[in-house]
């Protein structure tokens, strides 16, 4: 599914999401504009929650996209939240996110991060040996902080190298293969201020081939047998991470959230039965597959440059400042003319951004209908890791963000002003 679930072409022949005509939204709010469809967010959350049932917990991964109104919807749907910094935690707390459903991850947490996580009552997912010492100083005598350990199961999923995390050569987690995981468990169990409630893993992102999760689960469960036999330790929770891929182009056909959860649950249940282990609660933490399909980015066409026999550049009013993914890991997108998505293609064009970098290209070589300056272009599947990684490069204010539902568009984040660019500067 490339578009949000409420997407349709309306009577005017325009693209519509959440009952709102995208050309009207662009006119009313300006561009670049990020449009989130509330129904898509809720449906994705519900699909995860229904598939999980009472077998465990679904946490939304705030790094994909976090804003107070968005997080409130996620909380209403009953999900927990995974955060990776005191900043993301701050957004969650200010949004009123229930604190009993927070997990705090990160491969190099600062003292401030760990202190904030402990004070918020979050489950801290320890990622390196130095965190044991920090926690000993932060957690008062006689108290125990609930923690998990992030393990690296040594599985390399079928995804871009830059978003694979579970292999041996990774900055994340205690490696099972090297023996670090086993040592970390021993250290956590002996620690006076920690309650080791579980073990966690996350093998990567934008994954379509779910077999990698089954492999990772088998490796984790083999470790559990060792921990049970040698240390008498059985985790209450086992984390399989997030990482389910989404469709960025009409050729992409990713598994559904239900399929993702059912595959991992199947591997967990069967793997525990085969090894005589008690089945722990499963934790998954999807980000992209909840926020990604819900978001559509709108841009306005500005300059059009023809280099005969070479290429036609169609420049839009955003680019790498609001969506770095094409440059960061070669992400491929599709674009549509908001006032006529079904119009026949006229030419192959390259959609360029407005940032002063030759590499600021959103989409290379895409068939588009005839385009003119002032046309609005819609890029679907833009809800995750776009705004979350947005910058003010070139002194460009970050875009406005709206949430649409039943013909109504609520501003979630206003467009930044030029003065916002100076908000932290001292004169
Ligand atoms: C530890 C962890 N959990 C969950 C996620 C969310 O992954 P995704 O957005 O691909 O579902 C990430 C993303 O990189 C992550 O690092």
169 pLDDT more than 90:
no
Residue 227 and residue 310 in one domain:
no
Distance CA 386, CA 363 (A): 14
Question: Does 408 fall in a domain?
Answer: yes
Angle at 214 between CA 328 and CA 257, to 5 degrees: 65
What CATH number is associated with residue 318?
2.40.37.10
Higher pLDDT, 160 or 67: 67
Residue 161 and residue 175 in one domain:
yes
Last residue of a domain, one of 232, 261, 289: 289
For the chain, what percent of residues have pLDDT higher than 70?
A: 98
Confidence of residue 156 (pLDDT cuts 50, 70, 90): confident
Span of 147-156, 157-166, 283-292, 396-405 with lowest mean pLDDT:
157-166
* C-beta atoms surrounding 28 within 10 Å: 12
Residue 360 and residue 253 in one domain:
no
**What is the 8-class DSSP label of residue 204?**
B
162 pLDDT more than 90:
no
For residue range 129-151, list pLDDT tens digits in order.
999 999 999 999 999 999 999 99
163 pLDDT more than 80:
no
Question: Does 1 fall in a domain?
Answer: no
Question: Does 427 fall in a domain?
Answer: no
Question: Does 263 fall in a domain?
Answer: yes
Of ligand 1's listed atoms, the one at least distance from the Cα of 289 is: 11
105 lines ligand 1 (CB under 6 A): yes
309 CB-contact burial (10 Å; exposed 0-12 / middle 13-18 / buried 19+): exposed
Nearest to 320 by CA among 402, 386, 411, 225: 386
178 alpha carbon – ligand 1 mean position (Å): 23
Mean pLDDT value across residues 276-304: 98
Residue 165 and residue 311 in one domain:
no
Give the count of domains, the chain. Answer: 2
Confidence of residue 170 (pLDDT cuts 50, 70, 90): confident
64 lines ligand 1 (CB under 6 A): yes
The answer to whether 45 is a known catalytic residue is no
109 pLDDT more than 70:
yes
Distance CA 376, CA 15 (A): 10
Confidence of residue 345 (pLDDT cuts 50, 70, 90): very high
Residue 13 and residue 148 in one domain:
no
Q: Which of 242, 264, 288, 290 to mutate to test the pocket of ligand 1 (most atoms within 8 A of CB)?
A: 242
Question: Does 2 fall in a domain?
Answer: no
Distance CA 281, CA 198 (A): 9
Residue 110 and residue 189 in one domain:
yes
Mean pLDDT value across residues 334-352: 97
Span of 104-113, 159-168, 174-183 with lowest mean pLDDT:
159-168
Residue 260 and residue 298 in one domain:
no
84 pLDDT more than 70:
yes
318 lines ligand 1 (CB under 6 A): no
Tokens 């006032």 belong to which residue? 339
Tokens 């350990």 belong to which residue? 149
Q: Which of 61, 79, 286 to mutate to test the pocket of ligand 1 (most atoms within 8 A of CB)?
A: 61
**What is the 8-class DSSP label of residue 143?**
-
123 alpha carbon – ligand 1 mean position (Å): 16
148 lines ligand 1 (CB under 6 A): no
pLDDT value for 123: 98
Question: Does 98 fall in a domain?
Answer: yes
287 lines ligand 1 (CB under 6 A): yes
Question: Does 386 fall in a domain?
Answer: yes
pLDDT value for 275: 98
Distance CA 238, CA 319 (A): 39
pLDDT value for 131: 97
User: CB of 367 within 8 A of CB of 336?
Assistant: no
400 lines ligand 1 (CB under 6 A): no
Of ligand 1's listed atoms, the one at least distance from the Cα of 204 is: 14
293 lines ligand 1 (CB under 6 A): no
pLDDT value for 203: 93
The per-residue DSSP string of 29-88 comes to: H-SSEEEEEHHHHHHHHHHHHHHHGGGEEEEEEGGG---HHHHHHHHHTT-EEEE-SHHH
Of ligand 1's listed atoms, the one at least distance from the Cα of 59 is: 4
What CATH number is associated with residue 157?
3.20.20.10
Last residue of a domain, one of 289, 310, 344: 289
Nearest to 296 by CA among 357, 220, 381: 381
For residue range 171-222, list pLDDT tens digits in order.
889 999 999 999 999 999 999 999 999 999 999 999 999 999 999 999 999 9
241 lines ligand 1 (CB under 6 A): yes
Confidence of residue 51 (pLDDT cuts 50, 70, 90): very high
82 alpha carbon – ligand 1 mean position (Å): 9
* Mean pLDDT computed over every residue of the chain: 96
User: CB of 199 within 8 A of CB of 151?
Assistant: yes
pLDDT value for 166: 59
Nearest Cα residue to atom 16 of ligand 1: 202
pLDDT value for 171: 83
Nearest to 72 by CA among 95, 40, 38: 95
pLDDT value for 157: 82
Question: Does 285 fall in a domain?
Answer: yes
Q: How many CA atoms lie within 13 A of 295 on its CB side?
A: 31
Of ligand 1's listed atoms, the one at least distance from the Cα of 243 is: 10
201 alpha carbon – ligand 1 mean position (Å): 10
Mean pLDDT value across residues 14-42: 98
Residue 284 and residue 301 in one domain:
no
165 pLDDT more than 70:
no
Residue 273 and residue 336 in one domain:
no
Distance CA 139, CA 220 (A): 28
Residue 254 and residue 367 in one domain:
no
For residue range 391-401, list pLDDT tens digits in order.
999 999 999 99
Domain around 205: 38-289
197 alpha carbon – ligand 1 mean position (Å): 20
150 lines ligand 1 (CB under 6 A): no
Last residue of a domain, one of 265, 289, 313: 289
Long-range contacts of 15-19 (CB under 8 A, 24+ apart): 15/336, 15/338, 15/339, 15/341, 15/378, 17/296, 17/404, 18/403, 18/404, 18/405, 18/406, 18/407, 18/408, 18/409, 19/404, 19/405, 19/406, 19/407, 19/408
Secondary structure of residue 190 in the 3-state scheme = helix
Residue 359 and residue 247 in one domain:
no
Residues 6+ apart with CB under 8 A from 58: 45, 48, 49, 52, 78, 79, 80, 261, 283, 284, 285, 286
Residue 174 and residue 44 in one domain:
yes
Catalytic residue among 20, 45, 272, 356: 356
Q: Which of 59, 63, 388 to mutate to test the pocket of ligand 1 (most atoms within 8 A of CB)?
A: 63
């Amino acid at each position: 599914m490339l578009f949000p679930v409420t997407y349709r072409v309306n009577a005017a022949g325009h693209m519509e999401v959440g009952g709102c005509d995208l050309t009207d939204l662009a006119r009313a709010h300006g561009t670049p504009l990020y449009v989130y469809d509330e129904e898509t967010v809720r449906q994705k959350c519900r699909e995860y929650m229904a598939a999980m049932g009472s077998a465990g917990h679904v946490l939304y991964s705030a790094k994909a996209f976090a804003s107070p109104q968005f997080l409130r919807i996620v909380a209403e749907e009953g999900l927990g939240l995974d955060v990776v910094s005191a900043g993301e935690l701050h957004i969650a707390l200010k949004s009123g996110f229930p604190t009993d459903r927070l997990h705090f991850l990160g491969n190099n947490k600062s003292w401030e991060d760990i202190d904030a996580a402990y004070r918020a009552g979050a489950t801290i997912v320890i990622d390196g040996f130095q965190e044991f010492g920090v926690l000993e100083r932060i957690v008062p005598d006689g108290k125990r902080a609930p923690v998990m350990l992030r393990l690296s199961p040594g599985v390399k999923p079928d995804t871009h190298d830059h978003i694979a995390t579970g292999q041996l050569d990774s900055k994340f987690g205690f490696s099972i293969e090297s023996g670090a995981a086993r040592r970390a468990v021993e250290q956590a169990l002996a620690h006076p201020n920690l309650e080791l409630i579980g073990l966690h893993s996350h093998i990567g992102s934008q994954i379509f081939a779910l077999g990698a999760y089954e492999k990772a689960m088998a490796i984790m469960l083999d470790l559990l047998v060792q921990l049970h036999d040698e240390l008498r330790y059985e985790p209450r929770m086992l984390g399989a991470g997030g990482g389910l891929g989404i469709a960025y182009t009409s050729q992409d056909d990713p598994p559904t959230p239900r399929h993702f959860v059912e595959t991992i649950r199947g591997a967990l249940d069967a793997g525990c039965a085969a090894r005589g282990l008690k089945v722990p609660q499963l934790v998954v933490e999807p980000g992209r597959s909840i926020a990604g399909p819900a978001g559509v980015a709108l841009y306005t066409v500005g300059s059009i440059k023809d280099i005969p026999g070479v290429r036609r550049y169609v420049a839009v009013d955003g680019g790498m400042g609001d969506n770095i993914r094409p440059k960061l890991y070669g992400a491929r997108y599709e674009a549509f003319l908001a006032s006529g998505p079904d119009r026949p293609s006229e030419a192959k064009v390259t959609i360029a951004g407005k940032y002063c970098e030759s590499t600021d290209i959103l989409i290379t070589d895409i068939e588009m209908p005839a385009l003119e300056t002032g046309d609005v272009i819609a890029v679907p599947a833009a809800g995750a890791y776009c705004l979350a990684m947005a910058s003010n490069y070139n002194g460009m204010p970050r875009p406005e963000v709206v949430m649409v539902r039943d013909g109504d568009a609520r501003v979630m984040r206003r467009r930044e002003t030029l003065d916002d660019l100076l908000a932290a500067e001292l004169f």
